[in-house]
């Protein structure tokens, strides 16, 4: 009896909550069952098995063996997913690279992980060459060969605790850290996605998120955990979203950041009939428009909380309580602690600290970063740096990052809570709140705003917010931006935002001199 069977079913023989046995079994069974659809192309298990086996032999011809590191810089697509399968079965360490990376960011990642090989596409050749890393070996994926003899899969000797991949954090507040992501962590993330997204036989799970992010990576095993198909698109597109949903017959949508806010800006009559979407699951749903989102998109929202470091998921909201990230998943123990390590009272914010009764749920560490590993992992528990509060009914509510909070007039202020309110303004496309030095006291709030169409007068925007935020949460400064630089999961890179307020609209100065009211 394995300790995890209380939470996860044993699906295949020799299964130890691992990826390779499940994947090999799935690719060898029911050859006509579809795995994924990309555009008009539907790929069966039999076709996937053939392609994966060919890729495994090609990787071997390149001299790659178990535990070698391979950086992968590819757009979403059939070959990309087949390559991930081949790497998992071969025991080769997969290092996903955001295709939007350029310059110093790309150079940092590739120098830090030191891969034996970079697998890419021709359109990224110049981007990779420009970073000037000597002896960096770059190769393009080959096409599918029409071989007479059927080649079989190779199953390397890998264990659940072996590193499957190195997944770099988004780096919204500094250099990204390389999460050592094991085979067991990938399996748990996939099993959790099955539960959280309520994946049923015949479902088509919409995969738009880049595979360099855990939100996309956790989906690639779903067709072998359930009789479901991946509906894959190359990237998120608001203008093509409903068309893609209709073509794929998508039943589940994963969301992050402001994705739901973007979709709510689409015309009311844009959704196709009949409606196929059933569940939208992810993080960052706006409490103020929760019911409107469910009605407009025709879905039930399942707000979650998690991070790559804890195998993606820690909580899920199954009872549709607006704004709540729900309760801890059965295999997760979640505590909210103050700065002295004591549990906080109901309603008070505390740091989210995670542990698990299942071995291997938490990351073993960060690549070549003992300081970050020691800060995160203490006495077998993961200190997330995120803050949440719990109401009297046990529902959890996200407050924000430790590094993304401000101290204003003696109050702890969550940037996330400010941004969620402003995201509900009809003319706000996106926004980001940061703390800046105050002339009196601790900090003031500076809000960067990207508008949709013409910008309203700042005073009008501020007055709108004053009806929805506490006084200490209201920004003092406002600055308009044309666009934000974002991560692969559409999160704003706040550490790149200017803290200079000399060109920002200052509400206190405007109140003292009404004539300066401008938009």
CA-nearest of 148, 143, 153, 142 to 50 is 153
Is 418 a residue whose pLDDT tops 80? yes
In this predicted model, what pLDDT tens digit does every residue of 378-387 receive, in sequence order? 999 999 999 9
Q: What is the mean pLDDT of residues 432-452?
A: 88
Supply the pLDDT for residue 501: 95
Q: What is the mean pLDDT of residues 328-338?
A: 97
441 confidence band (pLDDT: 50, 70, 90): low
Element (H, E) at 464: helix 458-466
Supply the pLDDT for residue 518: 43
Q: What is the mean pLDDT of residues 96-105?
A: 86
Per-domain residue ranges of the chain: 20-390, 409-516
Q: What pTM did the predictor assign?
A: 0.83
Cβ contacts of residue 440 below 8 Å, gap of 6+? none
How many Cβ atoms from other residues are within 10 Å of residue 436's Cβ? 17
Q: What is the mean pLDDT of residues 79-99?
A: 97
Which residues are bridge partners to 386 per DSSP? 401
Q: What is the mean pLDDT of residues 144-169?
A: 86
Supply the pLDDT for residue 169: 84
CA-nearest of 203, 176, 179, 201 to 189 is 179
Element (H, E) at 42: strand 41-44
CA-nearest of 257, 211, 214 to 234 is 211
Looking at the chain, the whole-number percentage of residues with pLDDT higher than 70 is 94
In this predicted model, what pLDDT tens digit does every residue of 210-258 receive, in sequence order? 999 999 999 999 999 999 999 999 999 999 999 999 999 999 999 986 7
In this predicted model, what pLDDT tens digit does every residue of 357-379 receive, in sequence order? 999 999 999 999 999 999 999 99
Supply the pLDDT for residue 262: 83
CATH topology of domain 20-390: Rossmann fold (3.40.50)
In this predicted model, what pLDDT tens digit does every residue of 290-321 receive, in sequence order? 999 999 999 999 999 999 999 999 999 999 99
Q: How far is Cα 169 from Cα 148, in angstroms, rounded to an integer?
A: 43
Supply the pLDDT for residue 517: 44
Q: How far is Cα 402 from Cα 209, in angstroms, rounded to an integer?
A: 26
Region 409-516: CATH code = 3.30.300.30
Supply the pLDDT for residue 427: 95
Is 514 a residue whose pLDDT tops 60? no
170 confidence band (pLDDT: 50, 70, 90): low
End-to-end CA distance of the chain: 66
Element (H, E) at 80: helix 78-90
In this predicted model, what pLDDT tens digit does every residue of 21-76 receive, in sequence order? 999 999 999 999 999 999 999 999 999 999 999 999 999 999 999 999 999 999 99
Q: How far is Cα 242 from Cα 233, in angstroms, rounded to an integer?
A: 12
In this predicted model, what pLDDT tens digit does every residue of 380-408 receive, in sequence order? 999 999 999 999 999 999 987 777 777 78
Q: Give the range with max mean pLDDT: 90-99, 144-153, 440-449.
A: 90-99
Is the previous residue joined to 463 through a cis bond, with omega within 30 degrees of 0? no
Cβ contacts of residue 329 below 8 Å, gap of 6+? 192, 195, 313, 314, 315, 316
DSSP state of 508: H
The yes-or-no answer to whether 20-390 and 409-516 have a common fold is: no
Supply the pLDDT for residue 442: 75
Supply the pLDDT for residue 483: 93
Least confident of 125-139, 168-182, 271-285: 168-182
211 dihedral zone (left: phi>0; alpha: psi -120 to 50; beta): alpha
519 confidence band (pLDDT: 50, 70, 90): very low
Supply the pLDDT for residue 329: 97
Answer whether 154's CB lies under 8 Å from 349's CB: no
Least confident of 117-126, 214-223, 258-267, 472-481: 258-267
Supply the pLDDT for residue 119: 98
How many Cβ atoms from other residues are within 10 Å of residue 204's Cβ? 21
């Amino acid at each position: 009896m394995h300790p995890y069977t209380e939470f996860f079913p044993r699906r295949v023989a020799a299964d130890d909550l691992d990826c390779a046995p499940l994947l090999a079994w799935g690719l060898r069974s029911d050859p006509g069952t579809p795995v994924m659809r990309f555009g008009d192309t539907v790929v069966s298990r039999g076709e996937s098995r053939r392609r994966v086996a060919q890729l495994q032999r090609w990787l071997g011809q390149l001299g790659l063996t178990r535990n070698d590191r391979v950086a992968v810089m590819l757009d979403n697509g059939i070959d990309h997913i087949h390559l991930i399968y081949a790497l998992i079965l071969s025991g080769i360490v997969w290092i996903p690279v955001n295709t939007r990376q350029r310059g110093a960011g790309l150079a940092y990642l590739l120098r830090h992980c030191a891969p034996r090989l970079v697998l890419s596409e021709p359109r990224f050749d110049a981007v990779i060459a420009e970073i000037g890393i000597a002896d960096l070996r770059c190769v393009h994926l080959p096409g599918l060969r029409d071989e007479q003899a059927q080649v079989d899969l190779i199953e390397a000797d890998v264990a659940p605790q072996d590193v499957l991949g190195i997944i770099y954090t988004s780096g919204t507040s500094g250099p990204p850290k390389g999460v050592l992501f094991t085979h067991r962590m990938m399996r748990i993330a996939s099993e959790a996605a099955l539960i959280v997204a309520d994946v049923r036989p015949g479902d088509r799970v919409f995969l738009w998120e880049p595979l360099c992010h855990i939100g996309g990576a956790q989906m690639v095993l779903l067709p072998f955990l359930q009789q479901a198909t991946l509906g894959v698109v190359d990237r998120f597109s608001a203008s093509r979203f409903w068309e893609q949903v209709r073509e794929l017959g998508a039943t589940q949508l994963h969301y992050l950041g402001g994705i739901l806010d973007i979709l709510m800006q689409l015309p009311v009559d844009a959704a196709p009939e009949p409606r196929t979407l059933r569940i939208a699951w992810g993080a960052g749903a706006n409490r103020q428009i929760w019911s409107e989102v469910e009605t407009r998109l025709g879905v039930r929202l399942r707000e979650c909380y998690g991070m790559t470091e804890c195998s993606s998921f820690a909580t899920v909201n199954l009872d549709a309580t607006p704004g709540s990230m729900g309760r801890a998943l059965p295999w997760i123990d979640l505590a909210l602690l103050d700065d002295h390590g004591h549990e906080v009272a109901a309603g008070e914010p505390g740091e989210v600290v995670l542990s698990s009764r299942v071995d291997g749920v938490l990351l073993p560490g960060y690549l070549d970063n003992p300081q970050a590993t020691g800060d995160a992992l203490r006495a077998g528990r993961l200190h997330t740096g995120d803050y949440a509060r719990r109401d009297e009914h046990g529902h959890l509510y996200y407050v924000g990052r430790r590094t993304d909070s401000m101290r204003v007039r003696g109050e702890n202020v969550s940037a996330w809570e400010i941004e969620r309110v402003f995201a509900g303004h009809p003319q706000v496309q996106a926004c980001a709140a940061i703390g800046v030095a105050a002339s009196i006291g601790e900090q003031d709030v500076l809000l960067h705003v990207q508008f949709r169409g013409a910008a309203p007068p700042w005073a009008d925007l501020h007055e709108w917010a004053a009806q929805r935020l506490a006084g200490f949460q209201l920004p003092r400064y406002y600055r308009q931006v044309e666009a934000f630089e974002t991560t692969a999961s559409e999160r704003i890179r706040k550490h790149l935002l200017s803290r200079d307020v000399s060109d920002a609209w200052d509400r206190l100065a405007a109140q003292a001199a009404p004539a300066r009211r401008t938009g």
